[in-house]
């Protein structure tokens, strides 16, 4: 079976029309969800571009693959799903953002890597927007691939990531500017000064999440302008996903292609007085996941699933679809267990919790390390450099505003979650 991964950037779980977003228009991805299954509790195990990509390709937690920023992971290439696919005869392609050091082009049959800007001057395409460039390169791969081999392609978008050095941050294509002109983007209920002040005391104006909040969200007019352009970038990615899917259909291979749409991390839209990602709050760790698998029974198409699926699960899922046994040190689990008929009635129950980790970047004042034990009803957070623990009841407090770690009534729960956190952290190594 062929495999196509549509991989967007800085795009959290609810930035989809089908997920109930009242503003953003994503008709092609909504249609994709109607043809497959959407996982509503899908999360990343580290919420940052480089590490999350390493998690995707290796099927491992950061603690095991060793990439703690934007360099190359330490896992042998042959143990990644990319290496496994190539070694089993797949025609291997990558388009767009790589962000794990220099892309090893010799490992691919087709590889073009670029990110960081929204507009490029190129010899091939002239002046071109990064998302249009993604589209052009994806079509070049699909139209020129050998027709007698199975293929794999990552379309790794830079959008909706901001252009960090640009005062306007989000730079959509001119034809998108008519989108969202006459709407008002709702401001999150916890995008407030009070919510910012509820964060641990070490969060101050030197924190990069707060710094970027000032770039984007610190007054109402700026918030509206930034979020409209952010949503325009999302709609452009959606349109390119539609073009890629149409090309697969035109070539007659869509019915033999596993299609995955997901993203590298979530994104604060001002919640907690923050911007960007990194930390263990729901806005940062929950991301979209849509899977269309030709083996899927019709009863599963157009459905949702609420189990905890993780970024590390996609590697073994892709390999299982290709009929390849996952390397022993992969830590994820084949997601098709959740949508294909059960073969082994003795298979282990699905996870109900997971370990989250994020390294310090530059210094703890800039982006502090964070860790968590995440369950659907409770979350235990740790800020290791300042020895701070937090505990949140996600049922009654889904916005994570009321820290219960010092509540005597929760002492037993805190102790139990602390112990389980330690066990899962050790298992991630």
Tell which of 286, 303, 338 closes a domain.
338
Tell whether 186 is covered by a domain: yes
Do 416 and 306 share a domain, yes or no? Answer: no
How big, in percent rounded to 5, are the helix, strand and coil portions of the chain?
35, 20, 45
Compute the distance between CA of residue 273 and CA of residue 268 in angstroms, rounded to an integer.
9
Range of the domain at 372: 353-427
Give the separation between CA 367 and CA 49, rounded to whole angstroms. Answer: 14
Task: Based on the fold, state whether residues 332 and 357 are members of the same structural domain.
Answer: no
pTM recorded for the entire structure: 0.97
Residue 141 resides in a domain: yes
In a domain, 343, yes or no: no
Pair 50, 149 in one domain: yes
Task: Name, in order, each residue with C-beta under 8 angstroms of 274's C-beta and a sequence gap of 6 or more.
Answer: 196, 207, 209, 210, 212, 213, 268
Residue 12 falls inside a structural domain: yes
Amino acid 218: pLDDT: 96
- CATH number of the domain within which 412 lies: 3.30.1120.10
The chain-wide mean pLDDT, for the chain, equals 97
How many domains would you assign to the chain?
Answer: 2
DSSP 15: -
Tens digit of each residue's pLDDT (9 = 90 or more) over 301-343: 999 999 999 999 999 999 999 999 999 999 999 999 999 987 6
Q: Are residues 393 and 273 in the same domain?
A: no
Which of 309, 338, 367 is where one domain is finished? 338
- Residue 293 has what pLDDT? 98
For residue 347, tell me if it sits in a domain.
no
pLDDT tens digits along 228-283 = 999 999 999 999 999 999 999 999 999 999 999 999 999 999 999 999 999 999 99
Are 242 and 124 in a shared domain? yes
Does residue 18 belong to any structural domain of this protein? yes
Same-domain check for residues 195 and 70: yes
CATH number, domain with residue 183:
3.40.720.10
312 and 281 in one domain? yes
Is residue 58 in a domain? Answer: yes
% of the chain exceeding 90 in pLDDT: 98
Domain membership of residue 134 (yes or no) is yes
Shared domain check, 373 and 286 = no
Residues 423 and 280 in one domain: no
Pair 329, 362 in one domain: no
In this structure, the answer to whether residues 287 and 417 fall within a common structural domain is no
Please report which confidence band the pLDDT of residue 345 belongs to, taking 50, 70 and 90 as the band edges. Answer: low
């Amino acid at each position: 079976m062929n495999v196509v991964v549509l991989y967007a950037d800085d795009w959290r779980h609810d930035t989809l029309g089908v997920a109930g977003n009242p503003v953003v228009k994503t008709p092609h991805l909504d249609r994709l969800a109607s043809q497959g299954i959407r996982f509503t509790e899908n999360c990343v195990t580290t919420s940052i571009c480089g590490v999350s990509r390493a998690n995707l390709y290796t099927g491992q937690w950061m603690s095991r693959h060793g990439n703690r920023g934007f360099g190359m992971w330490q896992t042998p290439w042959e143990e990644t799903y990319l290496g496994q696919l190539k070694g089993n005869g797949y025609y291997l392609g990558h388009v767009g953002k790589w962000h794990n050091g220099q892309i090893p082009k010799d490992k691919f049959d087709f590889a073009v890597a670029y990110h960081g800007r929204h507009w490029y001057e190129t010899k091939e395409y002239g002046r071109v927007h990064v998302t249009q460039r993604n589209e052009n390169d994806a079509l070049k791969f699909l139209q020129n691939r050998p027709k007698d081999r199975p293929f794999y392609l990552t379309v790794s978008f830079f959008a909706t990531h901001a252009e960090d050095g640009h005062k306007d941050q989000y730079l959509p294509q001119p034809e998108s500017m008519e989108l969202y002109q006459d709407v008002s983007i709702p401001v999150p209920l916890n995008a407030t000064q009070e919510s910012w002040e509820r964060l641990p005391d070490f969060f101050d104006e030197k924190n990069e999440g707060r710094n970027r909040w000032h770039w984007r969200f610190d007054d109402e007019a700026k918030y509206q302008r930034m979020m409209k352009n952010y949503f325009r970038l999302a709609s452009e990615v959606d349109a390119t996903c539609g073009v890629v899917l149409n090309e697969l259909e035109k070539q007659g291979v869509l019915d033999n292609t596993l299609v995955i749409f997901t993203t590298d991390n979530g994104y604060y839209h001002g919640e907690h007085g923050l911007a960007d990602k990194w930390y263990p709050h729901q806005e940062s760790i929950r991301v979209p996941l849509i899977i269309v698998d030709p083996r899927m029974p019709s009863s599963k198409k157009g459905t949702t699933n609420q189990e905890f699926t993780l970024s590390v699960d996609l590697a073994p899922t892709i390999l299982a679809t290709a009929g390849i046994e996952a390397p022993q040190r992969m830590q994820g689990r084949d997601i098709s267990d959740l949508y294909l008929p059960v073969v082994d009635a003795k298979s282990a129950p699905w996870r109900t919790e997971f370990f989250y980790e994020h390294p310090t970047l530059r210094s703890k004042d800039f982006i502090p390390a964070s860790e968590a034990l995440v369950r659907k009803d409770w979350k235990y957070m740790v800020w290791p450099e300042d020895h701070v623990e937090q505990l949140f009841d996600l049922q009654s407090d889904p916005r994570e505003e009321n820290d219960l770690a010092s509540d005597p009534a929760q002492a037993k729960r805190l102790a139990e979650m602390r112990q389980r956190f330690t066990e899962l952290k050790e298992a991630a190594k």
